């Protein structure tokens, strides 16, 4: 009986954790030096700024990253997991966009940043699903009226 209770508790805890959208975004960039050559297998510093309203909009969040490029000059990082400079990632008013990501880099690993690009954030699967889910009526609920996810981690539909 204890084993069944423990298994049920672990399953509910896993479902609760997996139902949450992570408070970060994946980001990748190819890093080139001033002569346009790839920066290969080298430490670089990046600054990420989330701008609201437009390419030159106000910066609502800013962070820095120290990373190492791979053999193709690619650097991968998670926006929201860097060293916070200003603002709070969890307090970005995502419902009041549009938002843009400005990337600044020092290919020598210092703090002499130059802008490598600004691009608009577009919809991602989490956002598209959330838009759908907010309009679902009669959603399944568990004990105590707690909403049950439409999909279990194993991929089977609940309803």
Return the pLDDT at 116. Answer: 86
Report the distance separating Cα 49 and Cα 51, nearest Å.
6
Q: What is the mean pLDDT of the chain?
A: 79
Query: Strand (E) positions, 1-155?
Result: 25-30, 43-52, 58-68, 74-79, 83-87, 99-106, 114-120
**pLDDT of 20 above 70:** no
Say what the pTM is. 0.68
What's the order of all strands across the beta sheet hosting 114-120? 83-87, 58-68, 43-52, 99-106, 114-120
Report the distance separating Cα 6 and Cα 144, nearest Å.
20
Q: Are 6 and 52 in contact (CB under 8 A)?
A: no
Q: What is the residue extent of each domain of the chain?
A: 25-122, 123-159
- What is the average pLDDT across 92-101? 90
Return the pLDDT at 158. Answer: 46
Q: Which residues have CB under 8 Å from 78's CB, separation 6+?
A: 24, 25, 26, 27
Q: Which residues have CB under 8 Å from 42's CB, separation 6+?
A: 68, 69, 107, 109
Give, as one character, the DSSP assignment of residue 144: G
Return the pLDDT at 95. Answer: 84
- What is the average pLDDT across 70-85? 95
* Fold adopted by 25-122: Immunoglobulin-like (2.60.40)
Segment 110-143, tens digit of pLDDT: 999 998 889 998 876 666 666 666 666 555 555 5
- What is the average pLDDT across 22-33? 88
Return the pLDDT at 28. Answer: 93
Bridge partners of 82, per DSSP, are: none
- What is the average pLDDT across 100-110? 93
- Residue 89, CA distances (Å) to 25, 33, 81, 123, 135 in order: 10, 29, 9, 17, 26
Q: Are 24 and 92 in contact (CB under 8 A)?
A: no
CA-wise closest residue to 119 among 45, 46, 22, 51 = 51
- What is the average pLDDT across 41-62? 96
Band (pLDDT 50/70/90 cuts) for residue 38 is very high
- What is the average pLDDT across 57-76? 96
């Amino acid at each position: 009986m204890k084993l069944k209770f423990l298994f049920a508790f672990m399953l509910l805890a896993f479902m609760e954790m997996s139902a949450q959208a992570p408070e970060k975004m994946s980001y990748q960039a190819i890093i080139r030096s001033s002569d346009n050559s790839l920066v290969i297998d080298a430490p670089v510093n990046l600054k990420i700024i989330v701008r609201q309203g437009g390419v030159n909009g106000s910066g609502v969040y800013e962070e820095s990253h120290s990373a190492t490029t791979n053999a193709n000059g690619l650097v991968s990082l998670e926006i929201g997991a860097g060293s916070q400079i200003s603002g709070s990632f969890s307090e970005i008013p995502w419902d009041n966009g549009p938002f843009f990501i400005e990337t600044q880099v020092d290919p020598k690993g210092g703090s002499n940043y130059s802008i490598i690009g600004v691009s608009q954030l577009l919809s991602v699967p989490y956002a598209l699903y959330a838009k759908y889910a907010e309009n679902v009526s009669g959603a399944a609920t568990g004990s105590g009226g707690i909403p049950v996810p439409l999909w279990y981690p194993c991929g089977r539909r609940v309803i």
